[in-house]
Structures are given as C-alpha cells and as structure tokens.
Structure 1
Amino acid sequence: MIQRIQSFYLFLVAALVLSMLFMPLAGYSNADGNWQFWAMGVYTMADPAQMVLPAWPIAILIALMGLLACISIFLYKNRILQMKFCLFNGLMLLAFYPIFFLYLWVNGKSLAATSSLAAALVIPLVAVILEYMAYRKINQDEQLVRSADRIR
C-alpha cells in the first residue's frame, strides 16, 4: 500500500493539510493591537488563549480535506473510487481559497484592521499539485490493470 508512489503523495497531502490546523494563516493589525488568524479562529497576540472571532468552518474544511486524503490512501484496491476521492479532494483544496479569503475579508472588516497573509497559505496549492500527481499515478495503474485484463 505505502510502497506505491501515489500513496506517498496522498500521505504528504494529508500531513501538509493537517499541519495547517497548527499554523497561523494570516494576521491582522491596527493601532489597537495585533491578531492572528488560525484555523479555529482569530486570536489576540497579547493573550493567545483569547479567541476574538471563531472560524470553525475553516477548521472543519481543513480537517475534512486531511481526512479525505487519509481515506484515499486505503482505497488502493478500488482505484476508480480512489481517483474520485482525489478529484473531490483537489476541488475542496481549490475551494478553500475563496472561503478563506471571504473569512479574511469579513474578519478584517469587523476588526477594522489590515490583513497580511502567512506562508501556510501555500500548502493547499502544493497539496493540489500532489493530488494531481497521485491521480495520474493511480490512472496509470488502472490502465496497466486494464491492459493486462485484455491480454487474458
């Protein structure tokens, strides 16, 4: 299972996406103070335990994307379903950006602060590329099995 390169790609996707739960995604600042936007919500820099604005849908989306990548690793016996999971997860990774920027804009308006993006926002883009590479390898395996079935 993990010997296949696509399983390694999917494992990297799961690890990268789930690591976003523990990284700041953006920051806000104005004259009153500084805040950080994490997956769970917006926290003040002065007291990191104090949540100012919740963002649970972002955390749920990130956890769901990581879970789908983990599940698709173990679907190696059903390659067609594994390819569908890869496509769906890739679409969810791309849908993360508009949802995140909507939250970024709404939270910036409610805090009356300017926002700055963090490096963790590159992770979904890297994950989409890895999902595509896994999809191609799974498709190659499926084509190889189909060609072997035609020979029999």
Structure 2
Amino acid sequence: MWQRIQTVWLLLVGLLMVLFAFQDIAVFTLPSGQACVLDNWRIYSAVDGASLHSVWGIGILSVLTALGSLALIFLYKRRILQMRLTILTLLVILGELIYIAWASWQFCTENDASFAVRFPLALPIICLPLLYLASRRMIYDETLVRASQRLR
C-alpha cells in the first residue's frame, strides 16, 4: 500500500484539503471600504466578525474531500472502485470550485463589492492534477495485474 505512488498523491490531496478547510479563501471590499472575508463556512466582516452570508457547503465539501481521499488510500485491493472514487473526488473538487465562484459572484453583485483571492484557493486547484496522476497510476496497476493474471 505505502510503496505505491498513488498513495503519496492521495495523501497529499488529503493534507492539502484539510489545510484548505480551515483557511480564508478570499477578501471582498465593499464600496464603504469595509473588508469582508470568505472562509469555508461563511462570509464575515473583518472588522467585527459578524456573519454576513453562510456558505457552509464549501466547508462540508472540503472536509468530505479530505476524508474521502485519505480513505481511498486503504482501498488499494479494490483498484477499480478506488479509481472511480478518485475520479468522483476530482469532480467534487471541481464542483466546490464552481460553488466558490458562484458564492463570490453572488456576494459581489448583491453588495457591489470587489473581490481578491488569497493563496489557499490554489490548494484545491493543486489537488486536481494530483488526483489525475493517482487515477492514471491506478489504471496502470490494474492493467499490470490483468496482464499478469493472463500469463498464469
């Protein structure tokens, strides 16, 4: 299990998504000059911490993706299921990024705010090629196992 390279990729995805789940994603600046922060659970005022908008779906998707990718490491004996769930995890991260963009766009249009991205938003984007590499390696392992069974 630990000697397979896809284990490293899945572990990195899990760690990056855990890190992402508890970071600020973006900053909005209202026309009045007040700053608002988007984290994985809400949009809140940077001045007094008052919650302005709830986006808890981002946090739930982040935690589920992190737990899912860490759980995928232990499905090494069921490669086909592991590969399908890896692709599902990749699609969930894409959906999460789309949801972040939608929530940001909605808040900006409602409040005429400007939008500035923070570094943690790059973490799920970094996870996408890692998941792709893991799924490609799972396909390679499965073809290798099938070829060795055919030789028996």
- TM-score w.r.t. the length of structure 1 is 0.92
Q: How does 1:103-122 map to 2 (within 5 A)?
A: 103-122=103-122
| Structure 2 residue runs without a partner (length 5+) | none
Provide the residue aligned with 1:28 in structure 2: 28
Shift of 1:51: 2.2
Query: What letter is aligned with 2:61?
Result: L
Classify the secondary structure of the residue corresponding to 1:25.
strand
Q: Distance in 2 between matches of 1:2 and 1:51?
A: 43
- TM-score w.r.t. the length of structure 2 is 0.92
Percent identical:
30
Query: What letter is aligned with 1:22?
Result: F
| Structure 1 residue runs without a partner (length 5+) | none
Shift of 1:110: 3.5
Provide the residue aligned with 1:61 in structure 2: 61
Structure 1 stretches of at least 4 aligned residues deviating more than 4 Å after TM superposition: none
Provide the residue aligned with 2:130 in structure 1: 130
Q: Deviations over 1:20-74 (max 9, x none)?
A: 11111111112241111000111221234x3222111111111111122112111
Provide the residue aligned with 1:40 in structure 2: 41
Q: Distance in 2 between matches of 1:112 and 1:37?
A: 15
Q: Distance in 1 between matches of 2:55 and 2:90?
A: 22
Contact 2:37 2:46 in 1 (8 A): yes
The RMSD of aligned alpha carbons is 1.3
Paired residues, number: 151
